[in-house]
Structure 1
């Protein structure tokens, strides 16, 4: 795949990786960047530079005064727009492309597939594989954007963190894998958010339901009620879109359904 000009496939692979790495790790010493560089026949410096070019297109980056590297090409912008118009299709296709180039690698997903019953063949196995690819992409994209910390509590233990959908998976197919439709939450905060016991205001502050406020259980009083009015920690990239937040507040929040 080596050439002086970046191909569309190379850029798709680069943007796919950009989505899944914390902003602070977009450098040539990162093992994942080195590995992708080997797969596509480019230097680690060139791949790292391309990732920072993508950062210059990210409003969540530029709105904070960070600029990334100028010089994003027309094709860079096309890749950006294509992913944003069809996250699900491109996330799957690009991961499968990466796997086809990296034939010796055994990923966690590959190991998981070995646990699928042998009679799960053909189309069923394909569906299971693609589902795992989608879940893995969304989780990595959301958690890396939030620096691996719950945006409400600050918890950083990865085994207790969830890439939580703002608009549920079943309600918006087009944005199932859109990182801007995700929040990094602890398992308990994810559950409360999913059940509409808490939501977020347009200025990105936590709103606690009246039902929770009436609950006098010690855990609720000590852990959940103090969230009222607290600003969430915003992500480095892929800031939650206000229309998704408004949907959750209007459709899922318990106080809005009464």
Structure 2
């Protein structure tokens, strides 16, 4: 318990950045990125994994039951994010980048590719908007993958490369908070993500699918789209799609 209580703000910010970038399926003490961060802050990899779980327990978009050992500092970081938005996200990314880039790498111990794409090399300190956007997009996807149990909410497809974190209210129309809100997302396969994005399908307030009347009835269209007409999607663990966002999609995106 002493290890948990003695985390500094800087160490907790690094863990916060890693939490937002790294999918929960990679929270493992054998993960090379976790090992590098642990080595940098002089803690064990298992302590870093434990910290990620504690941060998750405070995340309203992805509440993880069973972990109640979060610290006051963990809560403070989340409160600061709620108040300041992207500023602490970029600050934490800078700290994490310094930690990962400052470590001595052997040729066979590169950091996780997802993390490298965002924070290495040196996160691009002169481009905070790009960095925070990448982190927020990755966080949004991680959240939806977790909440929808790694499955498309329409078809049940569970092939990760085919799963898209789809915004109900489009990114360009959303506020910073709405862009990362789990209630503004659906986990869809690539085909139905495109259909939803183009307004060829939508959801009603009971989460039932509706196909646009502009879609012609053909054997293939019936198989890929109309077979789902009227069916309810599989709902997430927490943060069901917001009726406000669904109404926006029906009014502004859906092709009537």
* 3-state SS, counterpart of residue 211 of structure 1: coil
Match of 2:209 in 1: 206
Counterpart Cα distance in 2 of 1:29 and 1:55 = 19
Counterpart Cα distance in 1 of 2:66 and 2:243 = 24
Q: What do residues 143-175 of structure 1 show as CA deviations (whole Å, max 9, x unaligned)?
A: 454344322222333433322222111112323
Q: How far is the alpha carbon of 1:237 from its aligned partner?
A: 5.7
In structure 2, relative to structure 1, the CA distance for the partners of 1:179 and 1:246 (3 Å cut) is same
Q: Does 1:53 align with 2:54?
A: yes
Counterpart Cα distance in 1 of 2:239 and 2:30 = 24
Counterpart Cα distance in 2 of 1:238 and 1:39 = 35
Instruction: Tell me if structure 1 keeps the 8 A contact 2:97–2:121.
Output: no
Which deviates more from structure 2 when the two are superposed, residues 162-171 or residues 136-145? 136-145
Q: How far is the alpha carbon of 1:140 from its aligned partner?
A: 4.1
Pairing of 1:90-105 with structure 2 (within 5 A): 90-103=88-101
Match of 1:218 in 2: 219
Instruction: Tell me if structure 2 keeps the 8 A contact 1:161–1:186.
Output: yes
Instruction: Tell me if structure 1 keeps the 8 A contact 2:212–2:255.
Output: yes
Corresponding residue pairs, total: 241
Match of 1:108 in 2: 117
In structure 2, relative to structure 1, the CA distance for the partners of 1:30 and 1:112 (3 Å cut) is closer
Counterpart Cα distance in 2 of 1:149 and 1:220 = 22
* 3-state SS, counterpart of residue 57 of structure 1: coil
Counterpart Cα distance in 2 of 1:3 and 1:54 = 12
Q: How far is the alpha carbon of 1:102 from its aligned partner?
A: 0.9
Counterpart Cα distance in 2 of 1:22 and 1:15 = 13
Q: Does 1:177 align with 2:180?
A: yes
Instruction: Tell me if structure 1 keeps the 8 A contact 2:144–2:182.
Output: yes
In structure 2, relative to structure 1, the CA distance for the partners of 1:24 and 1:203 (3 Å cut) is farther
Match of 2:189 in 1: 186
Q: How far is the alpha carbon of 1:177 from its aligned partner?
A: 3.5
Structure 2 gap segments, 5+ residues each = 104-109
Counterpart Cα distance in 2 of 1:204 and 1:159 = 25
* 3-state SS, counterpart of residue 92 of structure 1: helix
Instruction: Tell me if structure 2 keeps the 8 A contact 1:198–1:208.
Output: yes
Which deviates more from structure 2 when the two are superposed, residues 19-28 or residues 69-78? 19-28
* 3-state SS, counterpart of residue 210 of structure 1: coil
Q: How far is the alpha carbon of 1:98 from its aligned partner?
A: 1.0
Match of 1:117 in 2: none
